[in-house]
Structure 1
């Protein structure tokens, strides 16, 4: 447990320093511990060290861990991976957040399948900010339409944007995302989340208004082989 506790402390210090450089409050930035491929025991260790928000990408593996950790009633589960339409029910029923919404069909299915819960599902739209053909995400020109679709969905709450910039292109992409985030908030007041930045570029992400950084390896160690 000691190494996870120390790793979390080191990342939180890095976030604090980045916020100071950007003249932002540390309270404006959430650490999302990316726990995909990691065991429930390691998540429990991170939880015991004060971490509460965890990100998962592989739905079957994630649901198994969520079920094992139901005693942690204040944990926040975030789905951050590509969404297959036949897996939306599991996301809607087991997660508090989903960061990777990028299709109309997914919006409709998540809304319908979340209807049996009292609390709406928090949604971030994934933006293909680097315009990569092989990468998931919404085109910048479609953002307003997708944002409006989510706002019309009774069981979803539009919280913001997510992006995974192309390698070696994060600086320009972060700047573009900051502009999109600022602009979209003017017409959609529920938006308060910009999910971007990892261990290698979190300082620059925070300088560009990121409110949630996604950190995995620097907390838990190298990734293991996924179950899906």
Structure 2
């Protein structure tokens, strides 16, 4: 995609989210758009920022840190790390991001909490749930979510916000909604189990299943290709 196409594609993505919210009978400000900018140059993030986009999701740590350095003058951007995180990279995330979507084990959560700089607000985190139980995917199993949530919520450097999932692809709207409905029920159960924790986030829904996700209560939808065009692979 050229920079000239970005205004139209971002406007189209916003309109798609708004229509999905209206169709779901939800307020149009009930979910936010996370622009997934992996493999895209900092110049495109700068342009999207000029068009009012503030929240950006990155999957690759070094690439994200390079972009953050290049865009340091844009101090109102909100950076989300949405890729898998290894133990040896937790400090960089703790020091440079506002959100992490992919916690699936206590060891990582403890390291992030310990490494979060005291002058920063607690790191907003979501537990990644392997809602489709795919062997190839990361994430905590649904039956283990509450136990992990109880432990993560007690860590001082973190603020547990909710759940994230990447369900297995499905063709029909009904099939797409099934695992997403399970996510909604999981979050509802967590809200009852942890009444003092502000669990307000369901990070789910991408280009192929945004409408299904919004119908099932997504509050943060992650769109990359729909905004920035096909991913750069070279």
When normalised by structure 1's length, the TM-score is: 0.96
Hey, what does 2:14 align to over in structure 1? 12
Hey, what does 1:165 align to over in structure 2? 167
Could you tell me how far 1:171 is from its partner in structure 2?
2.3
Could you tell me how far 1:27 is from its partner in structure 2?
1.1
Which of 148, 153, 175 is the aligned partner of 2:181?
175
Alignment of 1:86-165 (within 5 A): 86-165=88-167
For residues 225 and 41 of structure 2, what CA distance do their matches in structure 1 show? 13
Hey, what does 2:221 align to over in structure 1? 213
For residues 28 and 77 of structure 2, what CA distance do their matches in structure 1 show? 20
| Secondary structure of the corresponding residue to residue 141 of structure 1 | helix
The answer to which of 99-108 and 110-119 deviates more is 110-119
For residues 116 and 21 of structure 2, what CA distance do their matches in structure 1 show? 35
For residues 96 and 5 of structure 1, what CA distance do their matches in structure 2 show? 25
Q: Which whole-Å deviations, capped at 9, do the CAs of 1:133-157 have from their partners, x for residues lacking one? A: 1110001111111111111110100
For residues 190 and 93 of structure 1, what CA distance do their matches in structure 2 show? 22
The yes-or-no answer on 1:200 pairing with 2:208 is: yes
For residues 146 and 202 of structure 2, what CA distance do their matches in structure 1 show? 16
Alignment coverage as a number of residue pairs = 226
Q: Which whole-Å deviations, capped at 9, do the CAs of 1:186-223 have from their partners, x for residues lacking one? A: 23331000000011211110000000000001111110
| Secondary structure of the corresponding residue to residue 161 of structure 1 | strand
Could you tell me how far 1:2 is from its partner in structure 2?
3.5
* Structure 1: segments with no counterpart, 5+ residues: none
For residues 30 and 44 of structure 1, what CA distance do their matches in structure 2 show? 19
Q: Which whole-Å deviations, capped at 9, do the CAs of 1:4-45 have from their partners, x for residues lacking one? A: 111111111111111111110111100000001111001001
Could you tell me how far 1:97 is from its partner in structure 2?
0.0
Alignment of 1:7-86 (within 5 A): 7-86=9-88
Is the CA contact 2:133–2:141 (under 8 Å) kept in the aligned structure 1? yes
When normalised by structure 2's length, the TM-score is: 0.94
Q: Which whole-Å deviations, capped at 9, do the CAs of 1:88-138 have from their partners, x for residues lacking one? A: 011101100000011111011000110433310000000000001111000
- Give runs of ≥4 in structure 1 deviating > 4 Å: none
